[in-house]
Amino acid sequence: MSDNTKILVRNARDQDLSAVAEIDAEAFSPYGTAEKLETFQLRLTAFPNGFIILVADNEIAAFGCSEKWLTEREPGLDENPSVTHQPEGRIFCITAMAVKTKYQGRGYSLLVLDKLIEIAHMEGCRKVVLETTHAQDLYLKRGFQTVQNRTDRGVSLDVMSLDLESYGGNSRTVAY
């Protein structure tokens, strides 16, 4: 990350969602797991505090979105957050996270992940869950463990989990 790059992490807005969908398609189309713009619209409506973007040099460079569940379960592709998000839930599911190709290798994915973990803490969640096709090493850096490998629509997915109660509070929180 260069010292002269201006970075801002903030909550997503409606006008950001086209760029989010483009980043998601760029990152996940090769795996068959890209999502539709409508899914991101539903996520922003269901849990606006859990949907963030990272802006670098006035361009959306990365995003992360999430929802809260009442009980731990496997994440699923194309779930409707209007149904699955539970405001009183204590399980924090990262539903999507990606960095635009030209911004990869600058540490932005860890910035987004750290902010999502911070949001999970602030929301009173006890656990973070997610599934990934290829970014296992990123999540292992923050203490996630693989709890299951499964296949959905021919795509191999690792379900990963982080216990926030033993994570160490906000010791890894990054100021933005």
Containing 137, the helix (H) or strand (E) segment is helix 136-140
Q: Measured between alpha carbons, how far is 125 from 88 in angstroms, rounded to an integer?
A: 9
Q: Note the pLDDT of residue 79.
A: 84
Task: Determine the pLDDT at residue 4.
Answer: 76
Check: pTM over 0.85? Answer yes or no: yes
pLDDT value for 173: 43
Quote the DSSP letter at residue 109.
H
DSSP structure string for 11-79: E--GGGHHHHHHHHHHHHGGGT----HHHHHHHHHH-GGGEEEEEETTEEEEEEEEEEESS-----TT-
pLDDT for position 176: 38
Burial of 113 (0-12, 13-18, 19+ CB in 10 A): buried
- Tell me what pLDDT residue 168 has: 59
Give the per-residue pLDDT at 150.
Answer: 87
Sign of CA dihedral 139, 141, 143, 146: positive
Residue-level pLDDT, tens digit, the chain, 176 residues: 455 789 999 999 999 999 999 999 999 988 888 999 999 999 999 999 999 999 999 999 999 999 999 998 887 777 899 999 999 999 999 999 999 999 999 999 999 999 999 999 999 999 999 999 889 999 999 999 999 998 877 888 899 999 998 765 444 444 43
Give the pLDDT of residue 174.
43
Check residue 170 and give its pLDDT. Answer: 45
pLDDT at res. 50: 98
What the chain holds in terms of domains, given with CATH numbers, is 7-166 (3.40.630.30)
Say which DSSP state 102 is in. Answer: G
